[in-house]
């Protein structure tokens, strides 16, 4: 018995010593950084990183918090009363830690009857200042101890008013509003001093969870109202207002004047591009030990603001008013796509967090509600009453686009438009994670491989069906006979392309695409030569750089250098370049691709938009005209445009690449060439390599031979041109990974 008592005493003594040692170690920073009191009194404000254009203009910032501090006297007394009554009614009686609240919380845990949390306002402030919140149980225990130490320090060095002010300037209220000043402006368009009691009660009630108690959400109105009224009851309990006054306030509806802080991520120059750069810099910061949101980095990009404006204008001019609204019958056939889109919405995720069942969520999505949606008007949005599920169908009906411009020699991206409106459509249609069937824009890459392997542009190519072992006979279009390779490319003849693929080999072509920087999955089927695979715009443009670069493949770059907040250069960036073909092959391909814009599928380009000098390119159209492409280049610039709907079955009948996508390219280059300051106004021609002097026209396709070929083409083609630019529906067995139902 005596030994047991002795053991208990020693255990108690050692436990006390150990606990005090632990507190000392935490306080001294042995178990993690412990800020000094000066840092706690004046929290270090994170410095936003700044983004600059190629000409040195600031085009954006990256930051975490939109914070505007106020003094104690600038806060309405009812805000203070509501806060103390709800979050810490013994605030003026404790010194940072409330033993009574801790005891009450522990008793509630033991009896399975929770009576509220034990954290004081000062402890909550400590947690905010320390930026803590680990989900690991043991780590959270250490964090709790650290918060208690900091809370005691705050109470010793600050007055109660200073603690309350610091707390209200620190806590988040949603919609990028940090602090009471931002919150009052966001939800009521007022200053903190102007807030009424019921408004203060609503804001303080949101501290329990700004997402759960979001007053802007129609589905959460009753939840928010109940929470506000709970705060009013607490104010009555703590003698801050009378019961009669509280009852009168409870009868008032929620009356917001919602004016969220401007979300600059959707505004300004090149929002899609800024989003891509943000991820690039975050990856860089992870390797180098920096923080894009706090370290005040200066990021210098390749974007040209004038060219970006021209690109934006070209997209808006071509895309304005373009829609393809699918019928309810069509959506019924594609219910899986609709449900997938529903589950990607913020509304669905919030309902899931609330514990709603799938049936309950579907009921919400089929109930009409007020909302803002995109519209082709001057404001680019409109107010409407619609069910959330119908709003998804509505938004899916807008035709989308992606357009990118780059310098093929340096790899610098000059303009980037990822969609028609960043606020409502944040899915970037240029980036490498967005892939679409490329149609006939893949053909120049195949023809290039053939030429690089010794086949002449003037070589006669069969237009007859061809046998592929394991795949059968293929003749995607109705053409028969033969024609020169250069003519077949100009008029995008599918049968000729299939015959060329048979010459070079499917596997050889797939390997060549990888060499060019196309990392997307490409299937080794005959249909690969007609663009049945999904590839991104940025990948296709990288592959095309070898033409104007005379054989050099250049990877696009977005950033030229990164500096610290003091202007010290941390890193400079140069493009990744490699030779993939020789300059003779490149020049032959340039002349062949000039045929597209001189006599072929893109012959409207120069006369309609008045493009100066020489240019070359390729149109592309997929089955049922669901995707339209044009990729083209001058001696100085390379650009590519895609037009289509996010769901292919919605975008049927958009038009050929020359009608739907090429106008964006043409409008941009017309503007760029008219601005002498940009340096593209001078008439430019593709330079012929010195080693090619004296070669005959069968090695170099000139305009005379192309015109001669056009005469031959007019005799052989008859009326068969409309479908030659797209993969044939007869290739269903080879269109791996695509939903052929979408193209019937």
- The pLDDT tens digits of the residues spanning 496-534 come to 999 999 999 999 999 999 999 999 999 999 999 999 999
What CATH number has the domain bearing residue 726?
3.40.710.10
- The helix-helix angle for 137-157 and 121-130 (nearest 10°) equals 110
- With 50 as the cut, is the pLDDT of residue 704 above it? no
Read out DSSP for 666-696? HHHHHHHHH-GGGT--S---PPPPGGGTT--
pLDDT of the residue at 10: 62
Cβ atoms within 10 Å, residue 653: 8
* 192/470: higher pLDDT: 192
**Residue 268 binned pLDDT confidence (cut-offs 50, 70, 90):** confident
H/E segment holding residue 416: strand 413-417
Geometric angle at alpha carbon 531, from 525 and 535, rounded to 5°:
105
Position 706 confidence tier, pLDDT thresholds 50, 70, 90: very low
Higher pLDDT pick, 266 / 352: 352
Distances (CA, A) of 142 to 19, 109, 146, 562: 12, 20, 6, 37
Whether 626 shows a pLDDT value over 70: the answer reads: yes
Position 24 pLDDT exceeds 70: no
Range scoring the smallest mean pLDDT among 10-24, 230-244, 600-614: 10-24
Confidence of residue 22 (pLDDT cuts 50, 70, 90): low
Q: How far is CA 582 from the centre of its chain?
A: 37
Dihedral sign from CA coordinates of 510, 515, 517, 521: positive
HSE of 541, CA atoms in CB hemisphere, 13 A: 34
How many distinct structural domains can be found in the chain? 2
Q: Is the pLDDT of residue 142 over 90?
A: no
Answer yes or no: are the C-beta atoms of 635 and 611 closer than 8 Å.
no
For residue 137, count other CB atoms closer than 10 A to its CB. Answer: 7
Q: Is the pLDDT of residue 716 over 60?
A: no
pLDDT value of residue 731: 33
Average pLDDT over residues 259-288: 86
What is the reported pLDDT for 732? 32
Highest mean pLDDT among 20-29, 468-477, 619-628: 619-628
pLDDT of residue 473: 66
Residue 152: per-residue pLDDT: 79
pLDDT tens per residue across span 432-447: 989 999 999 999 999 9
- Tell me what the mean pLDDT of segment 96-122 comes to: 60
Cβ neighbours around 98 below 10 Å, total: 23
Whether residue 383 is contained in a domain is answered as no
Mean pLDDT of the chain: 84
Show which of 250, 268, 303 is a domain's final residue: 250
Min mean pLDDT across 178-182, 192-196, 258-262, 601-605 is at: 258-262
**Contact present, 640 and 537 (Cβ < 8 Å):** yes
Indicate the pLDDT class of residue 141, thresholds 50, 70 and 90: low
CA distance 642 to 627: 7
pLDDT mean over 662-671: 97
Query: CATH no. for residue 199?
Result: 1.10.3810.10
Q: Which residue has the higher pLDDT, 35 or 334?
A: 334
Give a yes or no: residue 388 inside a domain: no
At 169 the three-state DSSP class reads: coil
- Per cent of the chain over pLDDT 90 is 59
Is pLDDT above 60 for 28? Answer: no
pLDDT-wise least confident of 427-436, 471-480, 649-658? 471-480
294-347 pLDDT per residue, tens: 888 999 999 999 999 999 999 999 999 998 888 888 888 889 999 999 999 989
More confident residue, 129 or 552: 552
Phi (first) and psi of residue 250, to 5 degrees: -65, -30
Q: Whose structure tokens read 């894009």?
A: 292
Residue 722: pLDDT over 50: no
Q: Looking at residue 38, what is its pLDDT?
A: 58
On the question of pLDDT at 476 being above 80, the answer is no
**202, 224, 250 - which closes a domain:** 250
pLDDT band at residue 467 under the 50/70/90 scheme: confident
Q: Does the residue 215 lie in any domain?
A: yes
- 613: alpha, beta or left, given left = phi > 0 and alpha = psi -120 to 50? left
327 in any annotated domain: no
Last residue of a domain, one of 226, 250, 274: 250
The pLDDT tens digits for 179-238 are 899 899 999 999 999 999 999 999 999 999 998 899 998 888 999 999 999 999 999 999
Residue 176: its pLDDT value, please?
78
Question: Which residues have a Cβ under 8 Å from the Cβ of 385 and sit 6 or more positions away?
Answer: 368, 369, 370, 371
Share of the chain above pLDDT 70, in %: 80
Q: What is the pLDDT of residue 350?
A: 86
Residue 224 lies in a domain: yes
**Which residue range(s) make up the domain with 724?**
402-411+435-553+579-731
Q: Is residue 277 part of a domain?
A: no
Q: Is residue 375 part of a domain?
A: no
> What is the rounded CA–CA span in Å between residue 44 and residue 50?
18
Domain membership flag for residue 38:
no
């Amino acid at each position: 018995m005596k030994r047991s008592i002795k053991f208990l005493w020693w255990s108690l003594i050692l436990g006390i010593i150990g606990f005090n040692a632990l507190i000392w170690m935490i306080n001294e920073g042995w178990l993690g950084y412990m800020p000094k009191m000066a840092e706690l009194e004046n929290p270090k404000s994170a410095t936003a990183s700044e983004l600059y254009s190629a000409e040195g203009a600031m085009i954006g910032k990256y930051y975490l918090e939109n914070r505007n501090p106020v003094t104690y006297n600038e806060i309405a007394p009812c805000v203070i009363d509501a806060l103390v009554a709800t979050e810490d009614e013994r605030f003026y009686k404790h010194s940072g830690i409330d033993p009574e609240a801790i005891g009450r919380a522990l008793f509630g845990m033991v009896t399975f009857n929770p009576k509220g949390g034990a954290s004081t306002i000062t402890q909550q402030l400590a947690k905010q200042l320390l930026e803590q919140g680990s989900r690991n149980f043991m780590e959270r225990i250490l964090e709790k101890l650290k918060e208690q130490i900091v809370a005691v320090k705050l109470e010793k060095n600050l007055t109660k008013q200073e603690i309350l002010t610091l707390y209200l300037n620190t806590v988040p209220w949603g919609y990028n509003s940090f602090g009471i000043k931002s919150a009052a402006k966001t939800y009521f368009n007022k200053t903190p001093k102007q807030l009424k009691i019921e408004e203060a009660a609503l804001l303080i009630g949101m501290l329990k969870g700004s997402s759960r108690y979001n007053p802007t959400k129609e589905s959460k109105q009753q939840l928010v109202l109940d929470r506000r009224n709970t705060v009013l009851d607490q104010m009555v309990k703590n003698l801050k207002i009378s019961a009669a006054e509280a009852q009168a306030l409870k009868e008032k509806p929620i009356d917001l004047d919602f004016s969220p802080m401007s979300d600059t991520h959707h505004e300004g120059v090149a929002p899609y591009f800024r989003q891509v750069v943000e991820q690039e810099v975050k990856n860089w910061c992870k390797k180098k030990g920096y923080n894009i949101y706090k370290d005040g980095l200066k990021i210098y990009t390749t974007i040209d603001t004038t060219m970006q404006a021209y690109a934006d204008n070209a997209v808006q001019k071509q895309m304005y008013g373009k829609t393809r609204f699918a019928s309810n019958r069509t959506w019924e056939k594609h219910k899986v796509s609709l449900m997938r889109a529903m589950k990607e919405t913020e509304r669905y995720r919030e309902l899931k967090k609330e514990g709603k069942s799938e049936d309950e969520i579907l009921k919400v999505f089929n109930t009409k509600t007020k909302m803002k949606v995109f519209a082709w008007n001057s404001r680019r949005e409109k107010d409407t009453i619609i069910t959330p599920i119908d709003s998804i169908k509505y938004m899916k009906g807008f035709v989308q686009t992606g357009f990118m411009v780059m310098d093929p020699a340096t790899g610098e991206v000059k303009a980037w438009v990822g969609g028609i409106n960043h606020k409502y459509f944040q899915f970037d249609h240029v980036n490498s994670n967005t892939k679409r069937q490329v149609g006939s824009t893949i053909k120049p890459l195949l023809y290039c491989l053939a030429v690089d392997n010794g086949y002449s542009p003037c070589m006669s190519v069969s237009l007859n069906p061809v046998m592929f072992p394991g795949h059968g006979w293929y003749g995607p279009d109705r053409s028969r006979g033969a024609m020169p390779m250069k003519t077949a490319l100009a008029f995008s003849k599918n049968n000729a392309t299939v015959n060329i693929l048979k010459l070079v080999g499917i596997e050889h072509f797939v390997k060549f695409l990888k060499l060019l920087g196309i990392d997307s999955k490409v299937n080794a089927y005959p249909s690969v030569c007609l663009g049945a695979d999904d590839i991104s715009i940025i990948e296709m443009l990288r592959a095309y750089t070898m033409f104007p670069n005379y054989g050099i493949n250049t990877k696009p770059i977005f950033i030229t250098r990164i500096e610290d907040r003091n202007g010290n250069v941390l890193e400079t960036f140069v493009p990744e370049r490699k030779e993939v073909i020789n300059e003779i092959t490149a020049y032959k391909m340039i002349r062949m691709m000039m045929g597209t814009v001189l006599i072929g599928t893109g012959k409207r380009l120069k006369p309609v938009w008045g493009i100066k000098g020489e240019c070359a390119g390729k149109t592309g159209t997929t089955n049922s005209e669901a995707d339209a492409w044009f990729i083209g280049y001058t001696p100085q610039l390379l650009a590519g445009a895609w037009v289509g709907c996010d769901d292919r079955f919605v975008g049927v009948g958009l038009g050929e690449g020359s009608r739907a996508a090429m106008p964006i390219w043409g409008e941009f280059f017309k503007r760029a060439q008219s601005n002498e300051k940009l340096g593209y106004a001078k008439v430019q021609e593709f330079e012929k390599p010195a080693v090619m002097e004296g070669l005959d026209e069968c090695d170099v396709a000139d305009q005379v031979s192309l015109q001669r070929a056009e005469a031959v083409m007019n005799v052989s083609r008859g009326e068969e041109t409309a479908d030659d630019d797209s993969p044939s529906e007869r290739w269903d067995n080879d269109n791996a990974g695509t939903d052929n139902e979408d193209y019937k």
